[in-house]
Amino acid sequence: MARYRAAARGDAAVMLLDGVHLVADALAAHLHIGDAAVAADVGTDRDIAALVGRLRDAKVDVVTATAPVMAALSPVRSSSPIVALADRPAASMAQLFTTPAPLIVLAIDVQDPGNLGAIVRVAEAGGASGVIVSGTSADPFGWKALRGSMGSALRVPLVSGGTAAALTELRRRGCRIIATAPRDGRSVFDVDLRTPIAIAIGSEGSGLDPALLASADERVTIPMQAPVESLNAAVTAALIVYEARRQRLLNS
């Protein structure tokens, strides 16, 4: 039980998979799952029984737990019927550059794990090459972020590191830095997003650092009707990723 609690806090090298969807996605992604616990009261639920069978086929140690134990293992208010511990996926910077025109999302100081998870989900849905998480951002493999990504974090190349090092490496590899700003930037619909780019998304409260905004290759703003002044970080990422996707599909 202590290992599950440590994973839920982000204190462990493994990650907590909470719920049927994430456990199934981890299996599909061929991640190493160390052990799992399933609620004793799931009865004859076919989906869970099938998932338990797949886990056991993969040589995962599966234990049956009472409702109070599952409540302690699962971090959500209404405990999930199955939880597991798995190794975190490991990606290298090189995996983000396997196409001629990579589209990378750079999440800087995105502290809300739900927002960060949604950004990772958007990156996968919009066909991005991968995600870099930097600064004081939440742990992308924490249980809240994993649930927010709906499993995308288990599939999308995801790299964590310092912001300055990430920017240096992106520029070295030929990426233009597209910095998002709530105002005073070029409209995102007027910017060429077909070249190798990294879309920098800042924190929920203060956005991107002024120095980064000043040094970026392009500063973009999403047009908004007054009196709205800003958008959620994940919504911002979604709009820009899909504008990049639209431009690239038209150009193909």
Question: Residue 173 maps to which CATH number?
Answer: 3.40.1280.10
Residues 62 and 162 in one domain: no
The domain boundary residue, chosen from 87, 115, 134: 87
Sign of the CA dihedral with 113 first, then 119, 122, and 126 last: negative
In the three-class reduction of DSSP (H, G, I as helix; E, B as strand; rest coil), residue 220 is classed as strand
Residues 15 and 48 in one domain: yes
Percentage of the chain with pLDDT > 90? 79
Which CATH number is 67's domain given? 3.30.1330.30
Residues 46 and 126 in one domain: no
pLDDT at 1 over 70: no
Question: For 186-217, what is each residue's pLDDT tens digit?
Answer: 999 999 999 999 999 999 888 999 999 999 99
Residues 115 and 199 in one domain: yes
Question: For 99-133, what is each residue's pLDDT tens digit?
Answer: 999 999 999 999 999 999 999 999 999 999 999 99
Domain that holds residue 159: 93-251
Residues 165 and 227 in one domain: yes
Question: For 218-249, what is each residue's pLDDT tens digit?
Answer: 999 999 888 988 889 999 999 999 999 999 99
Residue 195 pLDDT: 96
Residues 71 and 150 in one domain: no
In the three-class reduction of DSSP (H, G, I as helix; E, B as strand; rest coil), residue 133 is classed as strand
Token pair for 82: 């199955």
Residue 189 pLDDT: 95
- What pairing do the DSSP bridges indicate for beta strands 33-39 and 158-161? unpaired
Supply the DSSP symbol for 249: H
Residues 14 and 74 in one domain: yes
Question: From CA 201, how far away is CA 52, in angstroms rounded?
Answer: 39
Residues 110 and 221 in one domain: yes
Residues 68 and 128 in one domain: no
Higher pLDDT, 76 or 102: 102
The domain boundary residue, chosen from 52, 69, 87: 87
The domain boundary residue, chosen from 60, 87, 114: 87
Token pair for 49: 């029984």
The H or E element containing residue 200 is strand 197-201
pLDDT at 10 over 80: no
pLDDT at 136 over 80: yes
Residues 118 and 234 in one domain: yes
Give the predicted TM-score (pTM) of the model.
0.93
Token pair for 232: 């959620």
Segment 62-82 mean pLDDT: 90
Residues 83 and 98 in one domain: no
Residue 6 pLDDT: 66
Higher pLDDT, 187 or 11: 187
Residues 6+ apart with CB under 8 A from 241: 103, 105, 122, 123, 126, 127, 128, 199
Supply the DSSP symbol for 192: -
Residues 164 and 113 in one domain: yes
pLDDT at 185 over 80: yes
What's the domain count of the chain?
A: 2
pLDDT at 19 over 80: yes
